[in-house]
Structure 1
Amino acid sequence: MRIALVTGSAGLIGSEAVAFFADKFDLVVGIDNNMRQYFFGTDASTEWNQNRLQDSYKNYVHRPADIREVSQLEPIFREFGTDIKLIVHTAAQPSHDWAAREPFTDFTVNANGTLNMLEMTRQHCSDAVFIFTSTNKVYGDNPNFLPLIETETRWEIDESHPYFKDGIDEFMSIDHTKHSLFGASKVAADILVQEYGRYFGMKTGVFRGGCLTGPNHSGAQLHGFLSYLMKCAITGTQYTVFGYKGKQVRDNIHSWDLVNMFWHFYQNPRVGEVYNAGGGRHANCSMLEAIALCEEISGNKMNYTYSETNRIGDHIWYISNLNKFKEHYPDWTWQYDLKQTMTQIHDSMVARLRQLA
């Protein structure tokens, strides 16, 4: 039997991974205890997504385990053992604002939880491919010291800079920078995944995501900005833009495109590899541009305010360079552009809100 194990299986990337791999593996085992509701409140609960997966995929098995507890993970790994061929570890505390409220919780979920998953893999299914969803926040605020230029709707990097054409590559330093506590806990996890590859020879891959998005995101004010922004556009809820004149730039990758990267890696895995993973120059926007697109797609004028206080460690301009991954896996490319993704988010959210009405 060939099994794929997915942590954070009811979240955005986890649920996309379940759907993607359901017809490629005999069994998909999901681990998710809905801590997103604890982090961000009832509106961010992933219970609806868990129920959807269980209804939609007959070969999906759910386990409500806490990745911080080896005592809860070990029985799962013992049960499925060496039949586990792929592990997609997406479970995380994902907000740098929230991390400062409960640093112990943030670190134990992101760092200790990842260590637990790696060690269980090493002990029970060491030949499995281990994929970790890291973050561009491992670079801290180093991107903010690039030569940036203000334009009408966005900050942009100077055309003479090597990063202008394709974005920031994996050689940007993760040192001498302010990460936020969330960024620091993800750095610890990122390095652990690399080290288990390089030290133990395990097939581990680190994917440093830009903004990960898609129609199955349970967006909240502190995390999932495109999903939450569209929700505000639909419902009329007031949205707050924090700092940088609303011109801060993010690249955005559809959850399907990211999981497709995982699939390519799984088929030809490497040891302790690191990749930037985002929308690149293919799909990116500033806050102001995202608001305009939400208004265009929803047909509603957005209700938003502006705060001069930017979030600590927030990026002013970040676009991922995916050239390394595309060189290693030349058959991969993006399937979704920004407008397609945001239209999907809109249509999915409208349908979900109607069900709740």
Structure 2
Amino acid sequence: MNIALVTGSAGLIGSESVAFFADKFDLVVGIDNNMRQYFFGTDGNTEWNRNRIQEKYSNYVHRSADIRSVEELDVIFREYGADVKLIVHTAAQPSHDWAAREPFTDFSVNANGTLNLLEMTRQHCPEAVFIFTSTNKVYGDNPNYLPLVELENRWEIAEDHAYYANGIDEHLSLDHTKHSLFGASKVAADILVQEYGRYFGMKTGIFRGGCLTGPNHSGAQLHGFLSYLMKCAITGNQYTIFGYKGKQVRDNIHAHDLVNMFWHFYQAPRAGEVYNAGGGRFANVSMLEAIKFCEEISGNKMNYTYSDTNRIGDHIWYVSDLSKFKAHYPGWNWTYDIHATLVEIHDGIAERLRLA
């Protein structure tokens, strides 16, 4: 039997992984205990998404386990053993603002939880491919020291710095910078996954995501930029822009496109490889530009305010350079641009609000 195991299976990338791999594996085992609701309250509740995938995919099995508990994980890994061929680890505390509230919780979920999963994999299914969703926050504030110019609606890289024309690649330093506690815990996990590949020869891949998005995101104020923005556009709830004149830029990758990257890696895995994973030059947007898109798609005027105080560890301009991944896996490409993604997000949120 071939089994895919997905942590954070009721979240955005986890549920997309379940959907993507359901017809490629005999069984998909999901691990998710809805800690997102603990992190972000009602907006973060993923129970609706867990119910959706349980109803839709007959070969999906859900386990409400805590990745911080070796004992709980050991039960699952012992049950499925070497039949597990793929682990997609998406479970995380994903907000740098929230991490400062409970540093022990943040680190135990992001770093210790990742170590637990790596060790369970090494003990029970060492030949499995292990995919980790890292973050561009491992680079800390270093992107903010790139040569940037201010345009009418966005910040952009200076034209005379051709090296960054396609975005930020994997050679940007992780050192000598402020990360936020969230960024630090993800750095620890990122390096652990690399080391299990390089030291133990395991098939581990690290994907440093920019903004990960899609219609099944339980967006909240502290995490889930496009999803929460569109939710505010639909409901009329007030949205707050934090700093940088609303011109901060993010690249956004649709969950399907990211999971398709995982699939390509699974078919030709490497040991301890690191990839930046985002929308790149194909799909990026500033806050002001995103607000305009949301207004056009929803037909509503956004209710938003501006705060001069930017979030600690926030990036002014971040666009991922995916040249390395595309060189290794030339059969992969993006399929969702910003507008197509936002239309899907709008329709998904509108449907859930209608059914609520």
Normalised by the size of structure 1, how large is the TM-score? 0.99
Q: Distance in 2 between matches of 1:310 and 1:329?
A: 37
1:70 pairs with 2:65: no
Shift of 1:160: 1.3
Closer, same or farther: CA 227–302 of 1 in aligned 2, 3 Å: same
Match in the other structure for 1:210: 210
Q: Distance in 1 between matches of 2:147 and 2:30?
A: 43
Match in the other structure for 1:241: 241
Letter of the aligned partner of 1:121 in structure 2?
T
Structure 1: gaps (5+ residues): none
Root-mean-square deviation (Å): 0.5
Closer, same or farther: CA 273–71 of 1 in aligned 2, 3 Å: same
Letter of the aligned partner of 1:35 in structure 2?
M
Letter of the aligned partner of 1:345 in structure 2?
I
Measured against aligned partners, the alpha-carbon deviations of 1:255-293 in whole angstroms (never above 9, x if no partner) come to 000000000000000000000000000000000000000
- What SS does structure 1 have at the residue aligned with 2:43? helix
- What SS does structure 2 have at the residue aligned with 1:200? coil
Closer, same or farther: CA 163–212 of 1 in aligned 2, 3 Å: farther
Match in the other structure for 1:230: 230
Q: Distance in 2 between matches of 1:232 and 1:253?
A: 21
Match in the other structure for 1:178: 178
Match in the other structure for 1:336: 336
Q: Distance in 2 between matches of 1:53 and 1:164?
A: 40
Alignment check: 8 A CA contact 2:197 2:271 kept? yes
Shift of 1:337: 0.6
Letter of the aligned partner of 1:53 in structure 2?
I
Match in the other structure for 2:127: 127
1:352 pairs with 2:355: no
Alignment check: 8 A CA contact 2:157 2:165 kept? no
Match in the other structure for 1:276: 276
Letter of the aligned partner of 1:317 in structure 2?
W
Match in the other structure for 1:36: 36
- What SS does structure 1 have at the residue aligned with 2:16? helix
Percent identical pairs in the alignment equals: 81
Runs ≥4 residues deviating over 6 A: none
Match in the other structure for 1:294: 294
Q: Distance in 1 between matches of 2:290 and 2:174?
A: 28
Closer, same or farther: CA 163–154 of 1 in aligned 2, 3 Å: farther
Shift of 1:43: 2.1
Match in the other structure for 1:20: 20
Q: Distance in 1 between matches of 2:225 and 2:269?
A: 31
Measured against aligned partners, the alpha-carbon deviations of 1:131-151 in whole angstroms (never above 9, x if no partner) come to 000000000000000111000
Letter of the aligned partner of 1:344 in structure 2?
E
Normalised by the size of structure 2, how large is the TM-score? 1.00
Letter of the aligned partner of 1:182 in structure 2?
F
- What SS does structure 2 have at the residue aligned with 1:289? helix
Match in the other structure for 1:53: 53
- What SS does structure 2 have at the residue aligned with 1:9? coil
Letter of the aligned partner of 1:200 in structure 2?
F
Measured against aligned partners, the alpha-carbon deviations of 1:102-145 in whole angstroms (never above 9, x if no partner) come to 00000000000000000000000000000000000000000000
Measured against aligned partners, the alpha-carbon deviations of 1:301-349 in whole angstroms (never above 9, x if no partner) come to 0000000000001000000000000000000000111100000000010
Measured against aligned partners, the alpha-carbon deviations of 1:25-66 in whole angstroms (never above 9, x if no partner) come to 000000000000000002210000000010000000000000
Q: Distance in 1 between matches of 2:105 and 2:162?
A: 38
Measured against aligned partners, the alpha-carbon deviations of 1:199-234 in whole angstroms (never above 9, x if no partner) come to 000000000000000000000000001000000000
Q: Summarize the alignment of residues 136-155 of structure 1 with structure 2, pairs less than 5 Å apart.
A: 136-155=136-155
Shift of 1:161: 1.0
Q: Distance in 2 between matches of 1:125 and 1:289?
A: 46
Letter of the aligned partner of 1:265 in structure 2?
F
Match in the other structure for 1:102: 102
Shift of 1:165: 2.0
Q: Distance in 2 between matches of 1:75 and 1:146?
A: 47
Q: Distance in 1 between matches of 2:101 and 2:244?
A: 24
Match in the other structure for 2:85: 85
Q: Distance in 1 between matches of 2:44 and 2:248?
A: 24
Shift of 1:163: 4.0
Q: Distance in 2 between matches of 1:187 and 1:79?
A: 31
Alignment check: 8 A CA contact 2:233 2:294 kept? yes
Shift of 1:162: 3.1
Letter of the aligned partner of 2:275 in structure 1?
Y
1:112 pairs with 2:112: yes
Letter of the aligned partner of 1:194 in structure 2?
Q
Q: Distance in 1 between matches of 2:305 and 2:165?
A: 33
Match in the other structure for 1:3: 3
Q: Distance in 1 between matches of 2:267 and 2:311?
A: 39
Number of equivalences: 356
Measured against aligned partners, the alpha-carbon deviations of 1:148-197 in whole angstroms (never above 9, x if no partner) come to 10000000010111344210000000000000000000000000000000
- What SS does structure 1 have at the residue aligned with 2:223? coil
- What SS does structure 1 have at the residue aligned with 2:252? strand
